[in-house]
Structure 1
Amino acid sequence: MGKIKKRRLIASVAAAAGAVAIAAIVWSLFSSKGEQGGSPNGEKEKISIVISGLGMTFPAGMNENKNPYLDYIEKSTNLDINVFLPPIESYEEKLNIMMTSSSLPDMLYTGNKVWLANYVHQGKLRPLDEEIAKYGPALKEKIPQKAWDQVTFNGRIYAIPSMNEVKGIELMYVRKDWLDRLGLKPPKTLDEYYVVIKAFATQDPDGNGKHDTIGLLVTENLGRTAPLFGAFGIQLNQWLEQDGRLVYANTTPQAKEAIAFLRRLYEENLIDPDFPLNRIQNLYYDKIVSGKVGLFSATWYDTRGPIEQNKQRDPKAEWIPLEYPTGPQGYKGVYAANLVRGYGVVPESSPNAANVVKLLNFIAGEGHRDLKLGFENQVWSMKNGKMVTDFSEHNKHLYRGIYTALVDVVEPEMDKQRLDSIGEQFHLYDNLKRIEGNLISNKFTGLPTTSMGQYMSKLTTSMQDSFIEMIVGVTPLDAFEDNVARWKSEGLDEITKEVNQWYASTSK
């Protein structure tokens, strides 16, 4: 046997062994609390669920299976719930391995719509219509029909959708004290943004006599660039209508223009040269907190995060929101968040679909307020008619969000009350309203097509890598059209055909 074949054989055996090992671990976790099902003696019925940890941490002595919020859920539903949190860095990979196991959990949560569609088509997930009709009154009441449509395949419901509580994520924030020091006004047009970005990178806006400030901060994978693409009328990875048909925004001349603008910033050293390495939780936030950045596309909640930390470090720092940059053709805006953020599914082999629906119905209904806000008089209380949050307790028990996220629902009045209670000085509710007035919606809202499952993941990675290479000058900007032609031949044409078949059917 040749060396290459031997290496391939060894790699295959190792991969198979790894999958078996993970399956064994999953089996031990899911079976550790005994057999599935109820008990004639009235004991709690047992179910096992796989969910995302969302990067949350637990207080000392607690974990995903031992904490007061899970106790509350179990007591209220009479369920004994075994929770498994795969590593967040390889979450979807672990879900795929589990789906090959002979022993599956009763519920898995995914944020990937294509993942959902693939396993529905493979017949590995069970429809939940009967269980929802019988055990899901709160689910039916609080989840809109448009969300149910996104999890309905051939007339059957295959997932419980978890709603996005917000309609959009990003808006521009700037340090007003830097603008004032340099004699600049808050920018409105893209050209004015360029002037501010250049000034912040070259004119020592922090006054320390060093050339150490960043004009514009961007994250890895072209994160936090949405307002700049919005200035050209598009958003990456969305479908837009042109001449009665849907086209993929990444392939349009507008995308090339936005890439050219970013390339100009990079060539002139106005954009952070390390942006391909800027992970949100370390390099990116650190640069904001340390005072090296005066302009960036923030999330609506960054006022309570890196912006607040920067202000605590430098009391002179004054941050204000900006209007979205208006481009040469008058466009501006930012991407609209998906209506649905995630999906709770039940493997076809599970005998406990009813208990899964009971669990999710409680989280969306009777338990939603306590899980979303935290326990009253511990995390929050009412004083003079206003909700007041105890920040130390709020932060200590943020992990409750891993349960709420399983089936989040939108309740505007409670959400405003909650956001204001966290601190009106953070302008969280105001930020959301500012974003909502400037949304660019994805025109494709249908179920993932067959070709999307085959090609879209690879195409997305290829597009992202190509755009970054053009911005940093590894490849010329003129390579854009050749890349588009290649993407079309590698599956995008098939996807576009299916997307427009859907679009035509919805237009009738």
Structure 2
Amino acid sequence: MKTKRNRAVQAAILMLVMAVIAGCSGGGSSPADTGTGDKGTDSEGTERKEVGYPAKLTYWVELNGNAAATMQDANGIAAYQELEKRTGTKVEFQHPPAGQSKDSFNIMVSSGNLPDVIEYNWATVSGGPDKAIADKTIIRLNELIEQHAPNLSKVLNENPDYKKQITTDDGNIYVFPFIRGDDYLLTFNGIIVRQDWMEKLNLQMPETIDEWYETLKAIKNGDPNGNGQADEIPLLLELTMTNINHAFIGAWGITTGFYQVDGEVRYGPIQPEFKEYLATMNRWYAEGLIDPDYAATDGTLKDAKVTGNQAGVFMGYMGSSLGRYTDLAANTIPGFKLAAAPNVVLNKGDTPLLGQKDSPFNGVGAAITTSNKNPEETVKWLDFRYGEEGHMLFNFGVEGVSYEMIDGYPTYTDEIMNNPDLPVTQAMAKYIQANYSGPFVQDRRYVEQYASRPEQREAIETWMKAQNDRLMPVVTPTAEESSRYASIMNEVQTYYDEMVNKFIMGVESLDQFDRFVETLKGMGVEEAVRIQQAALDRFNNR
């Protein structure tokens, strides 16, 4: 009896010890309970090691201008402050000087002195992300994402097109991407008109090239600003903006760069239609319908011309142009009103071939460098942003401060939308990153509120109306192709910029257009087309 009693006691003690050990090892709670581990199994059934968040990270990224207006580094953004509270990870941000991110990036990579994470537009990197991986600048993320990033994995599995876009031709996933999560977020730029001038002159919104010609003449001759002087600028032409929104040139179904027709890559400036576009711009310029100083007009001068009651038609963004100019002119120009014009066509009733439409993924995202000593933990930290908590944090900020849930809708507070000290873009940048970019999925509900005015919402709907199937996706040339492509296009772009302005201003006769085309071909632009074609073919075969 005594022996049996002793054995029972020993068994009870053993069970107690095992229970204590299980409790200490975390066996009584899941990673979802603690928020500090992601132990589980991978696709092959192998148990993953438990991973927490990193204690600290170095993070290189350009500081957005709206954020820079109110803070020294990105730790001033409330979303990052809250992220630190929830993960315990302290981030040391490294920001290149404003406007020098490309040069700073190249110097940093060449030096080999790398931070843990680099957030950048990897589509612009020489040789592309595959070369960056081969050069041991950044690491391949496929397996790490599968094992330690359940939130991003879910996004990619539910949206195969996103996965295709962030995967290189060699099959590498290299970045935690900035993804615009709705078609409504992809269009935000186009032609803007002074609607109050249109109404004063009894003009209908133009659609065709011919209607635009008549509209611009009416603005030039009708004194819509009412000062008795012929100081109106009918069209403030911006060729750099035309590269984005294909304003006017899109009527001919071409762009100022590379585009595709049924999978065949073409270069706009060597097409016959480009001569027709230049002839139109030359005629408008000669008749005073285009600002004579358009080539020398920077952002500051543009602001002055629009808010100085001079510009009738210009190109710009839904927020920083249409919205901002309305705010700036509200108290100085009675009746000031802007509206979006539709994408231009040649024939009345046609559906526009081209307008501005961005890709859901345009190359911007956060990559982990080879200097990072804790890639698994960093993957988990970056993945936080793609879950529900992180999504709300980086799109809307801190509940009760920058937004409130009203009938299930995250509604920005007056701290954002009616801040007495800051424009809405800067107020947003104090809390969130939804109004520019970062490694997360952008939420449509952000822009539904950012576009607070009816004319802004109408602008998005208007500019979205285009076929846009000729636009190129974000493609990545190989390292060898990239080097050759850059060599060709640097020379081509310099010559193109010089000659296009000469053609528009009449300094160079359009009789010389064929020579212009032959010169571009002599510089190797047809080889550049072949490089783009090869990259497009690989993209389509991913």
TM-score bin, normalised by smaller chain: 0.7 to 0.9
**In the alignment, which residue of structure 1 is the partner of 2:357?**
336
Counterpart for residue 375 of structure 1 = 398
Moved more, 87-96 or 292-301: 292-301
Q: Hey, what does 2:25 align to over in structure 1?
A: none
**Distance in structure 1 (CA, Å) of the matches to 2:269 and 2:72:** 45
CA radius of gyration, larger in: 2
Residues 452 and 478 of structure 1: CA distance in aligned 2, closer, same or farther (over 3 Å): farther
1:451 matched residue in structure 2: 481
Verify: 1:438 aligned to 2:466, yes or no: yes
Asked if 1 retains the 8 angstrom alpha-carbon contact of 2:126 and 2:483, the reply is no
CA distance in structure 2 between the partners assigned to 1:292 and 1:451 by the alignment: 46
Is 1:127 paired with 2:140?
A: yes
The amino acid of 2:178's aligned partner reads: S
1:363 aligns with 2:385: yes
Correspondence 1:279-290 to 2 at 5 A = 279-280=298-299, 282-290=300-308
Q: What TM-score do you get using the length of structure 2 for normalisation?
A: 0.76
Q: Secondary structure at the match of 1:320?
A: strand
* CA 1:89–1:180: 2 relative to 1, 3 Å: same
Check whether the contact 1:241–1:443 (CA below 8 A) recurs between aligned residues: no
Return the offset for 1:472: 2.2
Q: Does 1:425 align with 2:453?
A: yes
1:269 aligned partner: 288
Counterparts of 2:163 and 2:376 in 1: how far apart (Å)? 18
Which whole-Å deviations, capped at 9, do the CAs of 1:116-141 have from their partners, x for residues lacking one? 64453252321111221122222222
Asked if 1:226 corresponds to 2:255, the answer is no
The Cα offsets for residues 324-363 of structure 1, whole Å up to 9 and x where unpaired, read as 2221595633132133231322233433333432333122
2:78 and 2:397 in contact (8 A); partners too? no
CA distance 1:47–1:427, change in 2 (3 Å): same
- Per the alignment, residue 27 of structure 1 pairs with none
Secondary structure of 1:49's aligned partner: strand
1:387-429 deviation per Cα after TM superposition (whole angstroms, max 9, x unaligned):
3531245543414455872224144xxx2x3334346424444
Gaps of 5+ in 2: 1-51
CA–CA separation in structure 1 for the residues paired with 2:273 and 2:468: 14
Match of 2:222 among 194, 197, 203: 203
In structure 2, the CA distance between the partners of 1:422 and 1:125, relative to structure 1 (3 Å rule), is: closer
Q: Which deviates the most, 191-200 or 331-340?
A: 331-340
Secondary structure in 1 matching 2:379: helix
Distance 1:267 1:325 in 2: 21
Q: Tell me by how many angstroms 1:189 deviates.
A: 1.6
**1:360–1:406: 8 Å Cα contact kept in structure 2?**
no
2:183 is the counterpart of 1:154: no
- Displacement of 1:283 in angstroms is 1.5
For structure 1, which runs of at least 5 residues remain unmatched after alignment? 1-41
SS at match of 2:398: coil
1:110 alignment partner, one of 103, 113, 120: 120
Contact 2:144 2:379 in 1 (8 A): yes
CA distance in structure 1 between the partners assigned to 2:268 and 2:289 by the alignment: 26
> C-alpha separation between the residues in 2 aligned to 1:192 and 1:43?
60
Q: Hey, what's the Cα distance between the residues in 2 that align with 1:68 and 1:445?
A: 32
CA contact (8 A) 2:191 2:247 kept: yes
Shift in CA distance, 138/119, structure 1 to aligned 2, threshold 3 Å: closer
Distance change (3 Å), C-alpha of 1:114 and 1:169:
same
- SS of corresponding position for 1:110: strand
Kindly indicate whether the alpha-carbon contact (under 8 Å) linking 1:455 and 1:491 is maintained by their aligned counterparts in 2.
no
In structure 1, how many angstroms separate the alpha carbons of the residues matched to 2:432 and 2:331?
Answer: 27
The equivalent of 1:351 in structure 2 is 373
Instruction: Please report the RMSD computed on the Cα atoms of aligned residues, expressed in angstroms.
Output: 3.0
State the TM-score, normalizing by the size of structure 1: 0.81
Deviation, 1:208, is: 0.7
- Given the superposition, is the C-alpha separation of residues 189 and 148 from structure 1 closer, same or farther in structure 2, using an over 3 Å criterion? same
Q: Which residue number in structure 1 is paired with residue 268 of structure 2?
A: 249
Q: Is the 8 A contact 1:69 1:400 kept in 2?
A: yes
* Corresponding residue number in structure 2 for 1:172: 191
